[in-house]
Amino acid sequence: MRSIPVNAEVTPQGPAQVLRLCGLAVSFTTPAGVVCAASDVSLQVARGECLGVVGESGAGKSVSFLALLGLLPPNARVQGAAQFCGTELLRAGPRALERLRGAAIGMVFQDPMTSLTPHLRIGEQIAEVLVHHRKLSWAAARARAQQLLTRVHVTDPAHRMAQYPHELSGGMRQRVMIAIALACEPQLLIADEPTTSLDVTIQAQILALLAELKREQGMAMVLITHDLGAVAGVADRVAVMRGGRVIETGAVAAILNAPHDPYTQALVRNAPRLTASAGVTQAARGQEAVALTLTDVSVEFSVGARWFGRAAALSAVNAVSFELRAGESLGVVGESGAGKSTLARAVLQLLKPSSGRVVWMGAALGELPAGELRALRRDLQIIFQDPLASLDPRRTVGEIVAEPLRVHAPELDAPARGLEVDAALRRVGLPATLAGRYPHELSGGECQRVGIARAMIVKPRLLVCDEPVSALDTPTQQQIVTLLAQLQCESGLSLVFVSHNLALVQRLCERVLVLYLGRMMELAPAQSLYARPLHPYTRELLSAVPLPDPQLQPARLARALPGEPPSPLNPPSGCVYRTRCPHAVAVCQQRVPAWELAGGDRQVACHRWREL
């Protein structure tokens, strides 16, 4: 199937056109032969226009635009034509591309942590671009760098200039990447998955910033993403890619409201959406035993210990209490820094709580001898956030999945373990032939399925999922959530699902716990919480979820909650959310709100929930 023609729905090339691709093809020479990553890609972007490029992982989105900038490895072969303001990029030499990169063409990469230099301060990294391309003095470049940080809404820019990347949050690092890309006022900005792995409020802030830059500076922009909600709020036109080819393109409203290609129709149909009436109905579990009980669980870390002076205490989780019945699913949501992952690890005793009790089936886990706790871990399994980093790169898939059996079922011999591994792989939708491959040979979705198979092979009774889909594209996220729901239904296990994606939590979980700076804000049945959230923070989280609706999403971005949560080293007095809450009053500063019943099976911690 050929890509659609370049002139299918756009006016001919004129002075306003910034980028034009025609018949772009990218292939790689490998020991197994030539692999085609993109074929016959034809696109164009005009000044002041944002083109959204969407598709699953492996569709050829990123590789097509990295090819323009000469950022592919030596084994890549690029053919076709790519004109940028009249310059043929594919025929430009390395020096010409170096002059364009960072100056006329800005690039925001997917992972800001790996894109920033870890040993250089933020101010130096921004200033370096200006010194190199604009020949400014270092003093002038640093002054301009601070202005750029202000432009991209970084709080306390003078202080941030002296910090290193690891000292910033994910949202702050992404803003720094945008500041670097904007330093020389480029004519074209390419943003490659700029919101992947960010929580919903920071996603909304980054998308609102991109929309603001496009509107005020009139630059051409390419937004590469798998999130249709992102393109709905920022893009003017959309190009859908599959298998390295452009299969459909058009105005954002036309693509999202009336797509023609069956693949695009499936993408739009399966895009995560919040609906007040939908969600997992809480089952009647009065006859089922309470499997897991947390009572006032707190986790603190000592930070900044020096030879002279006392270490500061960072409260990551503060007095969290809840019960989880057998077969029940609980979603834990909140922004980065809310304490979600810390709580998940404390439940499994991977982190020792500073205070409080974790009781599993009547046994207080923190009081068990090491040998008994080790034996009990057969019932308590976890799926980690990064599917590739959580798998041992030196072991095959078969060895990784079989490892729990070596520990918890030593009576099984090698053939028996092999049969169990094959069954576990098939259970999560993978062919048994993958057992001989290594993690780096698999896709992100396949790696996550391997992680699920490893956790499920010992038939656990509690499964803790720590952001298991945040690094995956939308169709793969849907597949993993459907798989988890199926496995839970088949095995009857209890599930704790940690996520910042409230649309996926709605599909999977019966109850939802909302955390902010380590404190409980609201706990409610999923249907009640999504239909009528009581806490102002819950409302902000729900309003930040991107919707694949070009009529609604731009207005939602304009109302994005500003700023980031305060540092847990210095939390606000009273209600920790008061510094960002639009409804805060004097009492919110003076007293910590009580955790109180709000009718039925709902609990909330807010001084004003009744009147709001």
The mean per-residue pLDDT over the stretch 581-589 comes to: 94
* Arithmetic mean of pLDDT, 448-471: 90
Given a contact cutoff of 8 angstroms between Cβ atoms, the answer to whether 56 and 476 are in contact is yes
Distance CA 126, CA 183 (A): 7
Strand 245-251 versus strand 87-88 pairing type: unpaired
CA–CA gap between residue 90 and residue 457 (Å, rounded): 50
How far apart are the C-alpha atoms of 404 and 421, rounded to whole Å? 10
On whether residue 465 sits in a domain, the answer given is no
CB neighbour list of residue 512: distance below 8 Å, 6 or more residues apart: 330, 331, 332, 333, 505, 522, 523, 524, 525, 526, 529
pLDDT of residue 282: 61
In a domain, 271, yes or no: no
Residue 140: give the domain boundaries: 112-183
Q: Is residue 130 part of a domain?
A: yes
**Between 546 and 127, residue with greater pLDDT:** 127
The pLDDT of residue 280 is 62
**Does residue 135 belong to any structural domain of this protein?**
yes
pLDDT tens readout for residues 306-358: 555 677 788 999 999 999 999 999 999 998 888 999 999 999 999 999 999 99
pLDDT at position 3 is 43
> What pLDDT digit, counting tens, does each position of 548-572 carry?
889 989 888 888 777 678 888 889 9
Place of tokens 């955390």: 515
Measured from the Cβ of residue 466, the count of other Cβ atoms closer than 10 Å reads 23
Give which of 339, 449, 469 is closest to 401, Cα–Cα: 449
Whole-prediction pTM value? Answer: 0.84
Strand partners, 224: 53, 192
Q: What is the 3-state secondary structure (H, E, C) of 224-236?
A: EECCHHHHHHHCC
Q: What is the pLDDT of residue 522?
A: 97
pLDDT at 96 over 50: yes
Per-residue pLDDT, 276: 61
602 versus 471: the higher-pLDDT residue is 602
Residue 496, token pair as written in the block = 């704790």
**607 touches 588 (CB < 8 A):** yes
Secondary structure (3-state) at 484: helix
Domain count, the chain: 1
pLDDT of residue 305: 56
Q: What is the mean pLDDT of residues 592-601?
A: 91
Angle between helices 444-456 and 397-408 (to 10 degrees): 20
Outline where DSSP puts E strands in 68-121.
Answer: 76-84, 87-88, 105-108
- Is residue 152 one of the residues assigned to a domain? yes
Give the per-residue pLDDT at 9: 38
Asked if residue 125 belongs to a domain, the reply is yes
Q: Is residue 131 predicted with pLDDT exceeding 50?
A: yes
Confirm whether 227 is domain-assigned.
Answer: no
pLDDT of residue 14: 45
| Mean pLDDT computed over 388-394 | 87
pLDDT, average across residues 495-504: 91
Contact 496, 347 (CB under 8 A): yes
Query: In this structure, is residue 278 part of a structural domain?
Result: no
**In contact, 219 and 188? CB cutoff 8 Å:** yes
Mean pLDDT (the chain) is 89
- Residue-level pLDDT at 10: 37
For a pLDDT cut of 70, what percent of the chain falls above it?
Answer: 94
pLDDT at 129 over 90: yes
Local confidence band at 8 (pLDDT 50, 70, 90 cut-offs)? very low
